[in-house]
Chain A
Amino acid sequence: MSINPALIASGGDSLREAFGKTLSSLADEFPRLVVLDADIAGGTGVHHLRKSHPERVVQFGIAEQNMMAAAGGMAAVGLLPIVTTFAVFCLRGLEQARLSLAYARRNAKIVASHPGLDVGPDGGSAQALEDIAAFRAIPGMTVISPADATETALATRAILEFEGPVYMRTGRSPAPRIFGDEHKFEIGKGQVLRDGRDVTIIACGVEVSRALTAWETLKAEGIRARVVNMPTIKPIDAGLIRKCAKETGAIVTAEDHNIHGGLGSAVAEVLAASVPCPVEFVGVRDTFGASGEPEELAEHFGISAPFIVDAARRALKRKKK
């Protein structure tokens, strides 16, 4: 299968850059905001804030466990801390996030860049495909994965205004711009981006633009797919999922994450308990990643647009006539 050249050529901002620029623009509005860095501000987008507001960035060195729990202490004395590192190193501080942030119900945020296969050339060791599942299992933890730079900017503001612990993914690679300036983001809400009656594709993060590409292909085949952007994985928009299941009768989920425990699982949990219908899961099939360019990896591991198209066809076939 060939790589869609439109996606490689699209010059959208990366989500991490959007996050960093937004932090810098919001720092004056949020005087208690403080960002914790583990020697990768250049990679997480935090270098923008370090330039504009150096006093707001606290260096922890390459020591994520201490950084994660220290954020709990900062929140306890009234600051608004954001822990920033790569998604894979958030897993290293998982137990600290559990006890010192979530269990103590601290108003602290974790923003993880470099999630999933989108990491690309750094390879399997660096590609967190388990983070959504892990953080979603922590009680009281909100989990967000925005789809493009515009949504990342909006989500960054939203998590600062939200009271409670949040885990948010950004992304390493330049991402196609999906949303214009009129886009709205609300924690816990999904949106229908393309309407259709035959099958619903529910996606998050980098998979949203792939779902939109899949929609074009399906449309050409006469299949009317609905595309839903689901940036909040927890708490998930159960109402919208049930509505889509009732109206289209078949669901496809798409995520740059292991098929176990992520968006697909969250959607299936809702449906199994309410409106059972065929669900096809597009995601990495319980394996580790590898080096390569993100689009090559998406083809190799089966999360590119053609795989979403295939999944939609399978879901349709399973649908009750």
Chain B
Amino acid sequence: MHSIASIYHAGSGHPGGALSCADILACLYGAELNVWPRGVDDPVRDRFVLSKGHAAPALYAAGAYFGFCNSREALRLRKLNSPFQGHPHVLDLPWVETSTGSLGQGFSVAVGMAMGLKMLKRTSRVYALLGDGELQEGEVWEAAMSAAHHGLENLCVIIDYNKLQSDNRNDVIMRLEPLAAKWRAFEWGVCEIDGHSIPEILKAFRRVVATVNRPSVIIAHTVKGKGIPYMENVPSWHGSVKLTREQTEQALAALGATDAEKKEYLDVY
């Protein structure tokens, strides 16, 4: 709800890809990551990198919900002098761990973090969330090869596999399949789940923690625009779009917003 409202207030943003990974982010911050608002500079914290930086509204919503930032301030998305830029920036918001937005780079940064933590003999784990279209970047496969070669068992990649990218379906733009086989061939531990099933997400996290000598990838099958009927699986909601007040109200209603919540999110400015 927070992401949709912030995109409405911003007048632009990527709602589809924010909604497809919202359940994953909720499970990460709610249950998996060993990080708390008061410990964002704790050297032994777990690290999370949103490599698909355009899903920033979902990250900010999770941050607001779990106390890393102020909910009202985080509705000032994409505005001048707001730390909540269109893509996460670590100098504005230290808890986002690194600056992302150029696809592929967040994954490499996460690889560097996992390598570094291992060299420093820290027990922290590193998680990176990648989009499916992002997998078309060559850098992703450089990073995948290096993580396997160095046996980064403290690294977990989650793929928000919503099957759509900016202009069309993945299989029309640049085919990704056979996706699980590709990661297996790169010697990663692979599991495939329903990325909107909380029990499946949590079970996958438990499984990857137990993986030894190799990094893990969770291929999460998701629905772009999840929860909002007029957006679900429609590629045009990927790109940066402008939401009308009516569309926003409709979306919030579909997500089960109460009247008080609608007021909180819509009449804030």
Contacts and interface: CB of A to CB of B under 8 A. Distances in A.
Interface of A: 34, 58-61, 63, 65-79, 81, 95-96, 99-100, 103-105
A63 B145 contact: yes
B97 interface: yes
B63 interface: no
Interface of B: 43, 47, 89-91, 97-102, 104-105, 108-117, 119-120, 122, 138-139, 142-143, 145-146, 149-150
Contact of B43 (A69, A78, A96): A78
A65 B117 contact: no
A100 B99 contact: yes
A69 B122 CA distance: 21
Mostly helix, strand, loop or mixed at chain A's interface? helix
- Residue of B43, B101, B112 with most partner-chain A CB within 10 A: B112
Contacts of A95: 102, 105
A68 B108 CA distance: 8
Contact of B98 (A58, A78, A104): A104
A96 B97 CA distance: 16
Given A61-B145, A73-B111, A76-B109, 12 more contacts: A59-B149, A66-B146, A69-B105, A69-B109, A69-B143, A72-B109, A74-B116, A75-B112, A76-B98, A77-B122, A95-B102, A105-B91
Given A61-B145, A66-B146, A79 B108 contact: no
A3 B113 CA distance: 50
A60 B102 CA distance: 20
Contacts of B146: 60-61, 63, 66, 70
A73 B115 contact: yes
Contacts of B47: 76-77
A68 B111 CA distance: 11
B112 A71 contact: yes
A94 B57 CA distance: 27
Given A96-B105, A103-B99, A73 B138 contact: no
Q: 10 smallest A-B Cβ distances: which pairs?
A: A73-B112, A70-B112, A69-B108, A66-B142, A63-B142, A73-B113, A77-B116, A73-B109, A74-B116, A65-B139
B149 to A, nearest CB: 7
B103 to A, nearest CB: 11
A79 B102 contact: no
Contacts of B112: 69-77, 81
Contact of A104 (B99, B104, B117): B99
Given A66-B139, A99-B99, A76 B113 contact: yes
B2 to A, nearest CB: 25
A75 B98 CA distance: 11
A100 B53 CA distance: 13
A81 to B, nearest CB: 8
Given A70-B146, A72-B98, A65 B108 contact: yes
B113 A77 contact: yes
Residue of B100, B139, B150 with highest tally of chain A CB at under 10 A: B139
A96 B186 CA distance: 23
Given A61-B145, A63-B142, A99-B101, A104 B114 contact: no
A82 to B, nearest CB: 13
A83 to B, nearest CB: 10
12 contacts: A34-B119, A59-B149, A65-B138, A66-B111, A67-B108, A69-B139, A70-B111, A73-B114, A76-B90, A76-B97, A77-B120, A78-B116
A180 to B, nearest CB: 38
A73 B110 contact: yes
A61 B149 contact: yes
Contacts of B109: 69-70, 72-73, 76, 100
Nearest to A68: B108
A95 to B, nearest CB: 6
B91 A104 contact: yes
Contacts of A81: 112
Contacts of A78: 43, 116, 120
A95 B101 CA distance: 11
Contacts of B97: 76
Contacts of A69: 104-105, 108-109, 112, 139, 143
Nearest to A73: B112
A79 B116 contact: yes
B97 to A, nearest CB: 7
Contact of B142 (A65, A73, A75, A99): A65
A304 to B, nearest CB: 39
